[in-house]
Structures are given as structure tokens and as C-alpha cells.
Amino acid sequence: MAGKSLSAELSSSDEDETINIPPGRGAPRLKSEALDVDAGYLFPAILLIIGGIISIGILAESYFQLTDSPFGLLKLAHSHGYLLEYKVSKLPNKGIWLYTGMAGSACFILMMTYSIRKRFGFMMDVGSLRIWLDLHMFLGIVGAVLITAHTTLKIGGLVSISYWSMILVASSGLVGRYLYGWIPHKVSGAELQINEINSVIEKTDAAMKRYIGHKSGAMKYYNRITSITNVENYNVVTSLMMMFATDIANMFRILAIWFELGMDGSIPNVVKRRLFRLIKRKNSMIRAINFFSTSRRLLHYWHVFHKPLAVMMFIVMFLHILVYILFRAEV
């Protein structure tokens, strides 16, 4: 009976479990004030699967055509009488590779909608900024794969500047996405300040005590979330390595807690799910506090490196497209 009553209490408290930042006295609560730390992983997982399928397919087809292999999707289509107008080619402006170049360029243009969402107030409530960032990453990586296939490994002249800038931008984007994850954000994209992070931790602790209390003995799991401290005075490389090491240690700690929770028959399953969600939220907030200045400093350095390369990539890309349109020639 005790387990059932606790489960019922938790089920009726779903709305309370979402931690929001107070908008101020008398102000209405906006959707954008919720935290993106509580967002799920379904959308990124879908993008990862789609991106993986596209990338593997395009790179495999590129390999087959460049090596004169008897295999390949285009040759398979030809054998059934389809796509006969697209010939197998080793040139960037022939066959399907011209169109992978167009598609890759379109991906890079579309991915800039993230910047529009980030900088214009009228789009503040148009989805979580984290979702927009995930889409930005997806388009950037898939675009880089499409452009690489488009080159047919003929990288030289002016266009090589754009290509290698693109590779650096895409590679550094993975680092930027990792650093972004260290800074808690509201759905609107606004960063949480130190007092707001402490407020979230206090509310998470209160929610834990209200939902679990000492009835199930579950506090021992919740209280195991810790993180290293005094990490604000190290150099860039050391700080990044410590952040990565902290994430690895926390990942194994949380996995161990999840395993032990699964084996604990004294806690109802609905309580386990709520507890694990609270544990992940607390872990995210504690790591954010311990690396509060470091994460922002590293992200600033990342922007200094990333943005000029992106600008250079776009300038040369548009010049390349313009020359092709005017002269139908490679540059």
C-alpha cells in the first residue's frame, strides 16, 4: 500500500517536477522560461540515425564511383532502367556530384536559421534553442559529407580554402556543442546565471524530498551525485581535459546508480523514473557550477576560432557558386 500511495503521489505531481526560473513578480510565465536540460533525446537520436544513413550512403557511392567498382546505388538504378541521365563520373560538375554540391550548399544556408532563432526576439518561443542547435549540427555535418562527395577528392585552387575551412568548422562545431552542454539554458536560449543555477538545485532538492522523502530509502542514490571543485584557474587544454574526465566519471556513476536502482525491489518503478530524472538534473547543475567560469571562457575562445572560419567558408562558397553559374566552370 505504501508503494502504491507514493506512486500515486508522484503521478499526480508531474507538473511540479519541471523546474522553471521565476519570471519576476507579477509577470506571466512564458514557455521560454523552462529549462532545456529537461528536454529528451528522441530528436537528436532521430537526427543521428538519419545523418548516419545519408553519410554512409553518399560516401559509399563516392568510393564505388571513384574506384570503378561494379557496385553502387547509381549502377543498381541503371541496371533497372532508372536515373540513366546521370552518368557515373569522377568529376565534381558531372553526374550526381553536381547535385550533392547543391544539396551541401543548401544545408549550409539552412543551418544559419539557428542564428536567426538565436538572435531575434520574435522567435524566442519557436522551439527549444537546443533543438535548433541539434538541427544546426545535423545540417553542418551532412552538408560537409555532401560537399566532400561533390569534390570527388579534387581539392585545389581557391575552392580548397572553402573546403578546409568547412572541415575545420564542422570539426570544431563538435567541440562547441560539447561546451554548450556545460552551460544550462532556458528554452529561449538565455544562459542561467549562478544564482539561477543554485535556485534550480534547491528546487530539485525540495522536489526530491517532497516526492521521495525517507519512505523508500532512495535518498542514498540522490546524494551520491558529486563533482570536482576548484577548477577555475587552469589553462584551456587542462580545463577541457578536466571537463571531459568529469563527464566520463559522472557517466559511469549515473550508470551505476541506474543499475542499482533497477535491482532495488523496494522502490516502485514510477519512483525510479522520477528519481533518475532528478539525479540527472542535479548532476547537470552541479557540473555547471563547478565549471561556471571555465565553460564560458572556453566557449568564448571557441567562438573566436569558429566564426572567422565560417565567414571565410561562406564567402568562398558563394564565389564558387557565382563563377559556376556565370561560366559553368570549376574553380
CA distances from 117 to 41, 66, 109, 175, 190 (A): 20, 40, 14, 21, 12
pLDDT higher than threshold 60 for residue 54: yes
Confidence of residue 47 (pLDDT cuts 50, 70, 90): very high
Amino acid at 288: A
64 within domain boundaries: yes
* 257 lies in the same domain as 323: no
Give the domain extent around 226.
192-290
286 within domain boundaries: yes
The residues pairing with 186 across neighbouring beta strands, listed in sequence order, are 35
What total of structural domains would you count in the chain? 2
Backbone angles phi, psi at 182, to 5 degrees: -80, -15
pLDDT higher than threshold 80 for residue 144: yes
Q: Are 37 and 284 contacting, i.e. CB atoms less than 8 angstroms apart?
A: yes
Q: Strand, coil or helix: what is 185? A: strand
Model pLDDT, residue 115: 84
* 308 lies in the same domain as 281: no
Share of the chain above pLDDT 90, in %: 25
* 56 lies in the same domain as 68: yes
8 within domain boundaries: no
Model pLDDT, residue 38: 56
CA distances from 1 to 4, 7, 8, 264, 283 (A): 5, 10, 11, 17, 32
Average pLDDT taken over every residue of the chain: 78
Q: Are 110 and 139 contacting, i.e. CB atoms less than 8 angstroms apart?
A: yes
Confidence of residue 107 (pLDDT cuts 50, 70, 90): very high
* 47 lies in the same domain as 157: yes
**CA-to-CA distance for 182 and 94, rounded, in angstroms?**
44
CA distances from 13 to 16, 66, 178, 201, 207 (A): 5, 59, 32, 18, 10
Taking residues 144-167, what's their average pLDDT? 89
pLDDT higher than threshold 50 for residue 16: no
Model pLDDT, residue 295: 85
What are 306-327's pLDDT values in tens digits? 989 899 899 989 998 888 888 8
Q: Strand, coil or helix: what is 186? A: strand
Instruction: Give the residue carrying C-alpha cell 541506474.
Output: 258
* 184 lies in the same domain as 129: yes
What are 72-102's pLDDT values in tens digits? 999 999 999 999 999 999 999 889 999 999 9
